[in-house]
Amino acid sequence: MVQEKAKILLHRKIARDHYRMRLKAPSAARGARPGQFIHIRCREESPYDPLLRRPISLVDVDPTGGTLDIVYKVMGLGTRALAQMPEGSKADFIGPLGKPFAFPPKGKRAVLIGGGVGIPPLVFLAKELLKKKIKATAFLGARTKEWVICRDDFRKLGVPVHVATDDGTLGFHGSVVDRAAESGRVAPATRHFLGSRDSAASVAGDLVFYICGPTGMMKAAAALARRRGIPAQVSLEERMGCAMGCCMGCVVEVNTEPVGSHARFQRVCTEGPVFPAEAVLWR
């Protein structure tokens, strides 16, 4: 883990409100794993507004070229300031941070379920899964067509992509979790990924879910996994202060410890952002 001012090698708009940034950061790139993130400073000078850094997941890492890529959506003050940083200038980041996704044993198939800005970490994950010869399929959802980001990244990797949009402008009209559940019932081609309810036991045994997106979506996807007996990992989001494990700001309630003990709250930045889906107490 390092804190560094890294040169911005590339900074492009990739969709409405979405940007991709590439940082030259050889030492951080060496050990980075899928599911990890960087904590990036959006403005450095007084009046320090925004004051805090922003956590953004790694969408791709090139250890040989020594680069880190992120994809982010302009949400507010921080990401708006970030979008102003020109190529060639330097960005101050800390990373890589957080606990990565755990790889499944050989022979399993990975189902990647991503919503909105939860999609990027799944791209890096898909790349590393394929290196380990683990097959992956992506189910991507967003509010509208333009926000279904990173489809090309998955295609380049040869990962089949299924899309759902809330407004029906692209792919399945509805939630990506319904789309994923649907695929087991109506689409024979993808049946082996999710299985029907009847054959859940035999087929689901081969699957692993990786889920990242808005809370409602993650909760639904985690419930789907539980119903089908499929192990699932979720990558959670919370407002972060330090991202170093010190401020205790980004905690989530998990049920790995008896309620009332001090370990009830775990830090998204340190024990997470990836948690076993069954540990999370969804609110």
Partner 1 sequence: MATQLKVQLGPLKLQNPVLVASGTFGYGEEYNRLYDVSRLGGIVTKSISLKPRSGNPVPRIYETPSGMINAIGLQNVGLEAFIQKKMPFLRSLKGPRIIVNIVGDRISEYVELAARLEDVKGIDGLELNLSCPNCERGGIEFGVNPKLTAEVIRKVRRRTRRAIIAKLSPNVTDVTLIARAAAEAGADALSLINTLLALAVDASTWRPRIATVTGGLSGPAVKPVALRMVWQVRRALPKTPIIGLGGIMTARDAVEFLLCGANAVQLGTVNYVNPKAPLEVIAGLKSYLAERKLKSPSALVGKLQVPERLRGLPQVVTG
Ligand X SMILES: Cc1cc2nc3c(=O)[nH]c(=O)nc-3n(C[C@H](O)[C@H](O)[C@H](O)COP(=O)(O)OP(=O)(O)OC[C@H]3O[C@@H](n4cnc5c(N)ncnc54)[C@H](O)[C@@H]3O)c2cc1C
Ligand Y SMILES: Cc1cc2nc3c(=O)[nH]c(=O)nc-3n(C[C@H](O)[C@H](O)[C@H](O)COP(=O)(O)O)c2cc1C
Contact call for residues 113 and 213 (beta carbons, < 8 A): yes
Least separation, in Å, of the C-beta of 265 and partner 1? 6
Q: Does 273 bind ligand X (CB under 6 A)?
A: yes
Q: Which of partner 1, ligand Y, ligand X, none does 113 bind, CB closer than 5 to 8 A by kind?
A: none
Query: How far is Cα 11 from Cα 26, in angstroms, rounded to an integer?
Result: 18
Q: Which of ligand X, ligand Y, partner 1, none does 54 bind, CB closer than 5 to 8 A by kind?
A: ligand X
Least separation, in Å, of the C-beta of 95 and partner 1? 11
Alpha carbon distances (Å) from 194 to 117, 177, 200: 24, 11, 8
User: Phi, psi at residue 210, to the nearest 5°?
Assistant: -120, 120
Least separation, in Å, of the C-beta of 261 and partner 1? 7
Site string for ligand X, 51-70 (x = CB under 6 A): ---xxxx------------x
Q: Which of 147, 120, 146, 32 is nearest to 138 (CA)?
A: 120
Q: Does 99 bind partner 1 (CB under 8 A)?
A: no
Least separation, in Å, of the C-beta of 270 and partner 1? 9
Least separation, in Å, of the C-beta of 246 and ligand Y? 8
59 is written with which tokens?
Answer: 């969408």
Choice from 17, 92, 178, 206 touching partner 1 (CB under 8 A): 92
DSSP E strand stretches across the chain: 2-15, 18-24, 37-40, 54-62, 67-73, 90-97, 109-115, 135-142, 161-165, 172-173, 207-212, 232-235, 251-253, 265-267, 274-276
C-beta of 246 vs 281, nearer to ligand Y: 246
- Residue 197's contacts (CB-CB under 8 Å, 6 or more residues apart) are 228
Q: Does 184 bind ligand X (CB under 6 A)?
A: no
C-beta of 95 vs 195, nearer to ligand X: 95
Site string for ligand X, 102-141 (x = CB under 6 A): ---------------x--x---------------------
- Residue 57's contacts (CB-CB under 8 Å, 6 or more residues apart) are 35, 36, 37, 70, 120, 121, 124, 212, 235, 273
23 is written with which tokens?
Answer: 């940082």
Q: Which of ligand X, partner 1, ligand Y, none does 120 bind, CB closer than 5 to 8 A by kind?
A: ligand X
Query: How far is Cα 128 from Cα 60, in angstroms, rounded to an integer?
Result: 10
Binding site for partner 1 (CB under 8 A): 1-3, 41, 46-53, 92, 94, 238-239, 241-252, 260-265
For ligand X, the binding residues (CB under 6 A) are: 37, 50, 54-57, 70-73, 75-79, 117, 120, 237-240, 268, 273
